[in-house]
Amino acid sequence: MRRIALFLGTNLAVLVVLGIVMTLLEPWLIAQGYNVNTVWILAIALVFGMGGAIVSLLLSKRMALMSTRARVITRPTSQTERWLVETVARQAKEAGIGMPDVAIYDAPEPNAFATGASRDNALVAVSTGLLRAMRPNEVEAVLGHEVSHVANGDMITLTLIQGVLNTFVLILSRVLGQIIDRVVFRSDRAYGPGYFLSVIVLQIVLGILASMIVMAFSRWREFRADAGGAQLAGRDNMISALRRLKQSQMPSQLPESVEAFGIRGRVGEGIKRLMMSHPPLDERIRALGNL
């Protein structure tokens, strides 16, 4: 629950801060004689809503390397590193993408992730725990899963969805805020106290709903990446890798900014599941069995 609260708090804090800035800016623009209409609000919302998401995408590789302290393999120094680079290179060629950077990060949990701003400028990283816990055919399947994330453009799509929803939240909260201010609070001013209060509450509520939509897409893309990993490394190997992950009792230790792009993540039941980036491993194994 603490991780869920941190996830919600971070996203909602960004929306609320941007919303407060816009709320304070709009009356000033009116006082300066500017006509603030829907188009203008949309332009501001696009800058604030999409801008942050796009910046995070452009910096995703650097931030992932910094947060996990991963080391990019520039010159393989061992047979394992050489095999990792050669395997990713082969899979990338089969998937029709540019060669991603390959990295290893020190963590006891078996995990891996992919990130990057485009299909030809990506990063695939595996943990030392994964290399210790899995057989080569299982590691190959995990690499195929991550390469499929890159080939499917999941990082870009997820960022765009988040940006669009941020924009939607910023705009809709202001439109509804004006309606509530005039209808419920009977304010005769352009921006009464009811407007400011309504906007903050609406941003929190709509922000939660937006996060649920983003996480729903994140769970769906995991099934698709599993199918891609099965194509690149074999279905039995992909199933075996997921079963090996299921045996691990260690919780995911990936940073929040990277966890959604890992091979495994935290899952939950009931309402908690709506905020999880990964579906249960049992469901993923069943889906592969039905391919």
- Spell out the residues 6+ positions from residue 154 whose beta carbon is closer than 8 angstroms to its own: 221, 224, 225, 261
Question: What is the dihedral sign for C-alpha 257, 263, 265, 268?
Answer: positive
CA 120, 121, 124 angle in degrees (round to 5)? Answer: 105
| Residue for token pair 């006509």 | 35
Structure token digits, residue 152:
């499917």
| Identity of the residue numbered 113 | F
| Residue for token pair 């075996």 | 240
Helical ranges in 115-192 per DSSP H: 128-133, 136-151, 154-183
Residues with catalytic roles? 146
